[in-house]
Amino acid sequence: LDKAGTSWLVQFVHTVCKERTMLRFIAFLALFLAVTARSNPRVSHIAYRDWVNRWQNFDSSFFQNANKDSADLTGWKPAAFNFNCTVEPSPSPPTSVHALRPSDFAVVAAFGDSIMAGNGVLSDIITDVAFQNRHHSAYGGGAGDIASGVRTMPNVLKLFNTDLTGYSTDESSAGDPEAGMNVAVPGCTAHCMLDQATDLVNQMIDSADIDIDNDWKVVNILIGGNDLCRSCNDQDYYSAARYVEEIQNSIDHLFENSPRTLVNVVPMFDITPLPEMSDGIMCDTLHDMFCGCVTDDATRPGLKPLQEAYVRGLHDMVNSDRYETRDDFTVVIQTGLEDATPPRLPSGEVDRSFWSPDCFHPGTKAHYVIGIQLWNTMLQPVGQKQTLVNWVEPGQDPISCPTAERPYVYTRRNSS
């Protein structure tokens, strides 16, 4: 079972299996085949035996608690929450994207890959990472509310505008009603972005809840993990130039077809620490399957420079003023993940409680931390935005408020 075959099998299973129990069982078999059949010198007899021992109690308890509250999955409970921000909208409907208050946004949308789709957010067993918990996704999820502990960027916006629409409301795939305007597709690279932008525009046009010409919209984009993971296989195809070109093409489509839009582009973080996330043979095998460029000692050193080139290219694209020719559209680089490093315990080891069971996707705690971080960076001037993640327990990271002196979301133009 090679990489292509495994990828096809996972997608096929997710498409045809509607019952969670059956999907979990078949996903387990797929992972079993991958571990036992994959040609990898690290998969020794002893490692294989240890892995089987970890799964020897695979019984009905494996399938229980599928829909546990997110707080139960990670051992923490929502902290008390007091919201003291001023929520008044603009005195008159704004005509400039550079004079938007949070209450002025009517629509939140998102596109990207499995991180944006929420794979792994609510997973407490490895096979559940196949499910798209986009309703808890940092940049597109709108399940519950901030007071109940679901600390996503859309849920902060809901505090300012209770009529906000576009956020995901339940586990779903792109295009499902529950997905809202989160059109992210797991496994995608930058080369998918134009298709997703097209899908987003079409869905907004078709939505009875959205006036695409008059509603103010914020669109969040995060892409690049899969590009980096595959880059050693085709350096030209996954070059920084092509990466930026594909994202530019997608934003061009929004520029031409979605007036009254602010686009948040979140550059991808460095993936070279990924092997540190692993806690055993299962994660090792998944990393080899889906991100072999980072597990290969020969190719890993090239990934950090490529990630940095991706970031520089996105900044150059935005700083070119390509999207500054109209007052109703702009693009802002939200820098919060650019220099992100893994959360660590006092011992120096990676804190895996922020990650999902596949040691690859961000888990509940990580999504809630970076969701609030995106919001906070929107209220930081361009050129003064944070570039590191403050890995604290969700609820310990304060939510920023606009001020009377600076009531607007920051753009390049209003930051000077």
3-state DSSP assignment of residue 309: helix
Spot the catalytic one: 70, 114, 258, 278: 114
Q: Confirm if 369 and 392 have CB atoms less than 8 A apart.
A: yes
Cβ-Cβ contacts under 8 Å for 8 (sequence gap 6 or more): none
- Tell how strand 105-112 and strand 329-333 pair up: unpaired
Structural tokens at position 223: 């892409």
Residue with tokens 């919209």: 217
Q: Closest by alpha carbon to 112, among 230, 226, 6?
A: 226
Spot the catalytic one: 227, 284, 288, 397: 227
CA 306 vs. chain centroid, Å, equals: 20
The C-alpha angle 277, 283, 285, rounded to 5 degrees, equals 130
CA distance 172 to 110: 14
Structural tokens at position 320: 């070119």
The pairs formed by 237-240 with CB atoms below 8 angstroms and a separation of 24 or more are 238/189, 238/306, 240/306, 240/309, 240/310, 240/312, 240/313
3-state DSSP assignment of residue 208: coil
Q: What DSSP letter does each residue of 117-164 carry, written as one string?
A: HTBTTT-SSGGGGGSB-GGG-TTTB-SS-GGGT---HHHHHHHH-TT-
User: Is 284 noted as a catalytic residue in this protein?
Assistant: no
User: Is 114 noted as a catalytic residue in this protein?
Assistant: yes
H helix runs in 136-261, sequence order: 153-160, 193-206, 225-230, 240-257
User: Is 45 noted as a catalytic residue in this protein?
Assistant: no
Q: Which residues pair with 108 in a beta bridge?
A: 218
Spot the catalytic one: 137, 361, 367, 397: 361
Q: Closest by alpha carbon to 262, among 358, 161, 331?
A: 331
Residue 28: which H helix or E strand, with range? helix 20-37
The amino acid present at 71, given as its one-letter code, is: A
Known catalytic residues are: 114, 227, 361
